[in-house]
Amino acid sequence: MSNEFPTAVRTAESTRTVPAVVVEDLHVTYGGAWALDGVDIGVQTGMTLGVLGHNGAGKTTLIKVLTTLLRPTTGRVRVDGLDVVADATAVRRRIGVTGQYAGLDEFLTARENLELVGRLAGLRAGARVRAGELIDRLGLHDLASRRIGELSGGSRRRVDLAASLVGSPSVLFLDEPTTGLDPLARTALWEVVDELTAVGTTVVLTTQYLEEADRLADHIVVLNQGRVAARGTPAELKRLVGGKVVTATIPAYRLDRLTFEPDTAHPVDADRIRISVTAGDAMTATDVVARLVRDGVEVSELDITSPSLDDVFTHLALQGANS
């Protein structure tokens, strides 16, 4: 069987200019508190949007609205050209969802679950064929004949992902999809996402793994307390931080001798602490190292690196950047 991912026939080149997801001035309230407060998002067809934020930032609430599980309090939301409230049934036919918890029948095997989802999606006799395609492509042969209730959490996630792809969705929502997966399974999922977007599928991804967002996302939205704190490509967000990040491990008792305030300071063990400082360019980073020497601070480990999305998170927490 072909190694190409079995999905609806689409061409990315012909659809990338069409917005697949449009969110305008979205508000959602829970018990008088705003879970989402004026969120605006646009995702082009065939692109991957990464939605980041700390726990409680509003990521899962956003996914619930986009997948018709939660009605917005106010605002306009369209998925694949359809209103998520007025056209909710039609939206559900066009999307796939992998949530934080696998929505599978524990008494059925993995193959039976996929065939059941296929029949519910209207594939009828084609449900068995579609299940076989997904088992082949996602490497689920070792799980196909086992009941879901017998599987580990990571294995359930793999089957749940396959179930979300049965209907060849035009928009796929992945809510922390690699939680519980080992590194090999996580890498395999990343490859699947690449193949899906290459044929025009749009992906909206929430994740706690910043490496994952850096690897997959064409654009990123950072939520904080229900609002958009920052947005842009991974490279654009990293430029918020500066050119370099200096990280040094020093004796804990020397922290008070520093003549500058580090951005972060985390204990390594009882005797050492790791500090980090953002610098605008390489020359400024060199000056930070020189100041450590002038302050008479012994350095056991030293790194000067380009910023990561972890550094962006730290920067936003410290600076309170606005979109």
Could you tell me the CATH number of the domain that includes residue 285? 3.30.70.980
Residues 86 and 124 in one domain: yes
The H or E element containing residue 237 is helix 234-241
Q: Report the C-alpha gap between 184 and 175 in whole angstroms.
A: 19
Residues 42 and 137 in one domain: yes
Residues 150 and 249 in one domain: no
Residue 177 has pLDDT above 90, yes or no: no
Domain that holds residue 88: 12-233
Residues 110 and 256 in one domain: no
Q: Report the C-alpha gap between 67 and 61 in whole angstroms.
A: 10
Q: Is residue 223 one of the residues assigned to a domain? A: yes
The amino acid at residue 264 is T
CATH assignment of the domain containing 149: 3.40.50.300
Q: Is residue 1 one of the residues assigned to a domain? A: no
Q: What is the reported pLDDT for 320?
A: 54
Q: Is residue 42 one of the residues assigned to a domain? A: yes
Mean pLDDT rounded to a whole number for the chain: 87
Backbone CA torsion sign across 43, 44, 46, 47: negative
Residue 6 has pLDDT above 80, yes or no: no
Residues 261 and 198 in one domain: no
Write down which residue in 210, 233, 256 finishes a domain: 233
Residues 93 and 139 in one domain: yes
Q: Does 323 or 170 have the greater pLDDT score?
A: 170
Write down which residue in 233, 256, 284 finishes a domain: 233
290: left (phi over 0), alpha (psi -120 to 50) or beta: alpha
At residue 40 the predicted structure's pLDDT band, cuts being 50, 70 and 90, is very high
Q: Is residue 320 one of the residues assigned to a domain? A: no
Number of domains comprising the chain: 2
Residues 16 and 161 in one domain: yes
Q: Is residue 30 one of the residues assigned to a domain? A: yes
- What digits encode the pLDDT tens for the residues 98-119? 876 667 889 999 999 999 999 9
- Of 51-55, 96-100, 250-254, the poorest mean pLDDT is in 96-100
